Structure 1
Amino acid sequence: MADPRKPGQLRPIERLGALIETLRGENGCPWDKKQTPCTMARYLVEEVYELVDAITSGDPRAVCEEAGDVLFQLLFVINLFSESGKFTLADVVEKNVEKMIRRHPHVFGDVAANTPAKVSENWDKIKLQEKGGAEPLSVLSSIPQSLPALLRASMVSERAAKTGFDWDDISGVMAKTMEEWEEFSTEIHSPESESGGDKAAVEFGDILFTMVNVARFARIHAETALIRSIQKFEKRFTYMEEKSIATGRDFASLSKQEMHILWDEAKEKVG
């Protein structure tokens, strides 16, 4: 077995493979040897989200580190299947390369596709052919139920729009957003809502889903846009806490006016 501690002997991907084999080997790590594809799925998902955070932060060093973690988790899962004789890394690569070539006939063949929309249209047709030409029960049926709600909402709205079930332009969907807000505003002040009714929650969900469609028309990815906004808020709020501590006061003890002053300062200092 190759030694992963000696980089000069191996190519990068081989070194990572050797590391996994060592961890899974006879004298390896008890935790790593215990893992299965199902147990590793959770860690793969977690690492992917950490990579997304790094990408949206704009920090190349963080992206490099998190991309390495995702690659390690992915190769670990592939290695588990390879150990059981199901498939190898070479099989994974070959199958994917064949599929990508097949789905890019405008690059590797003589099919014309001069716009992203046409590429997407051809992609969907080729996927359907790969499945034997059988139409799915619904264009929404292949969207994973386990996706985060905002990401799943984006995929649902995109798939539905491809059938022609869509607003004519962004003005229409923005008007619908205002309509949904009015319905929510009415419901949240109703006696039923005050007594714990569920209708207000449903109306609020309608606002979020409609806003996802606004993002789609504006060519904004709702999930990553929200992540960036959350990160911005976290930076500003952390700045406020640190400034408060520097003056010897607990942040929660500040008055609303003092908090707003710090917030304006944070907007100026950290963006």
Structure 2
Amino acid sequence: MAPPDVTQGSLCTAPETASSAASPVAEEPAALFAESVAIMRRLRGPDGCSWDREQTPETIRKYTLEETYEVLDAIERKDSANLCEELGDMLLQVLFYAQMASEAGEFGIADVLSGLNRKLVRRHPHVFGAAAAEAAGNAAVLESAAEGIAPTQVLANWNAIKRMERQQKQTPGADAGVESRMAAVLRAQPALLEAQKLGSAAAKVGFDWPDATGLLAKIREEADEVEAEIAMAPGDGTGDLSASSSSASSTREMQLEVGDLLFVVSNLARHLHVNAEMALRDANAKFRSRFASMEQAEREGGAPLEQRSLDELEALWQQAKQRERLLAGLPGVGA
């Protein structure tokens, strides 16, 4: 089989052509998608790529996670050309999994698309109509499925339909009460986000801290437990478990205590209506920016950062913070 024609231009690599109404890339999504499916089939075929052929869902899942974060990074940087490219990389993951499943006789890309289309219709009765949604499998009893309903009701309907779908997937004859309330919280998501959602699920039955003040007290309690673990750890008493004197058990205990602390912090964010994952990503971006300012100072003259004292590095950090706040039009103080 001859390889598909992949010589056409791409809006991802040539964003300046995005305004062209005659772009073949913009006009033929169905044909291009079919071409992508054919390329993946060829790559996994006998005359394809040896690396692609030996992959399994388990071996490429790490790339799926990486591609997800690269999409988020492009969004946060408002880089539309890179976002276009990264969405293509994410789509590659979908094609890869579907091709492997097809080879195993489990499902194919057509099943993925059919399931998605039915789900979208099923979960949007206010758009496609109750009859179409019911034909797509929606048996949920909704307060309102009329056009023009408020976004809050749309979300409520969406969640009601999801609950109905989970019930329909249960094994016939199984006890409907066996499934944990935590079952709806996916494990395959960033841990901070999972922690917040676990807290939300528990809060629905009243198992929650009453307010942010209680959580702050719990954070102090968990921090004390980490400090106690540091004091008991082998070595110089600093808690540095990278030292050769550390044991597997002490490392594990420290990990558990730090995990407890992070869990409580994530739920403090939930009480404050802050997305913990996004908050940490913002903090990471801020750290990158400030450290880059320190490196800029290094390039402008003086000793390399590695040769400076901690006090000197702290002074550079404070200068970076001051510069950051001035550029943002804020007073020269803050975290």
> Normalised by the size of structure 2, how large is the TM-score?
0.67
Matched, 1:226 2:263: no
Displacement of 1:13 in angstroms is 1.5
Q: Give the superposition deviation at 1:261.
A: 3.5
Paired with 1:193 and 1:261, the residues of 2 have a C-alpha distance of: 28
> Partner of 1:86 in structure 2?
106
CA distance in 1, matches of 2:128, 2:279: 34
Rg bigger for which structure?
2
Q: Distance in 2 between matches of 1:152 and 1:138?
A: 15
**Equivalent residue, structure 2, for 1:163:** 205
Could you tell me which residue of structure 2 aligns to residue 49 of structure 1? Answer: 69
Q: CA RMSD in A?
A: 3.2
Letter of the aligned partner of 1:216 in structure 2?
Answer: R
Structure 1 position 221, deviation (Å): 1.9
In 2 relative to 1, CA 152–161 (structure 1 residues): closer, same or farther, beyond 3 Å?
same
2:301 aligns with one of 240, 247, 253: 247
2: CA distance, partners of 1:199 / 1:37: 32
Which of 169, 182, 185 in structure 1 is aligned with 2:220? 182
Q: Which position in structure 2 is the counterpart of 1:195?
A: 232
Q: 1:75 to 1:19 in 2, by over 3 A?
A: same
Choose from 47, 54, 61 the match for 1:34.
54
SS of corresponding position for 1:260:
helix
Counterpart amino acid of 1:3?
Answer: P
Give the aligned partner of residue 89 of structure 2.
69
TM-score when normalising by structure 1? 0.80
The one-letter code sitting in structure 1 at the alignment partner of 2:199 is S
CA drift of 1:185 comes to: 5.0
C-alpha distance in 1, partners of 2:177/2:188? 23
Question: Taking CA–CA contacts closer than 8 Å with sequence separation of 6 or more, which of the two structures ends up with the larger relative contact order?
Answer: 1
Give the partner amino acid of 2:196: S
What is the CA–CA distance in structure 2 between the aligned matches of 1:224 and 1:189, rounded to whole Å? 27
Distance 2:4 2:120 in 1: 33
More displaced stretch, 203-212 vs 174-183 = 203-212
Deviations 1:250-270 (A, max 9, x none): 102223443234224433258
Q: In structure 2, the residue corresponding to 1:247 is in which secondary structure?
A: coil
2:264 to 210, 213, 221: 210
Unaligned stretches of 5+ residues in structure 1: none
1:130 equivalent in structure 2: 168
Identity among equivalent positions (%) equals 35
Tell me, in whole angstroms, the C-alpha distance in 2 between the residues paired with 1:16 and 1:107.
Answer: 30
Deviation at 1:144, TM superposition (A): 4.2
Once residues 39 and 226 of structure 2 are traced to their aligned partners in structure 1, the CA distance between those partners, rounded to angstroms, is 56
| 1:34-53 Cα deviation digits (max 9, x unpaired) | 22333222322222232233
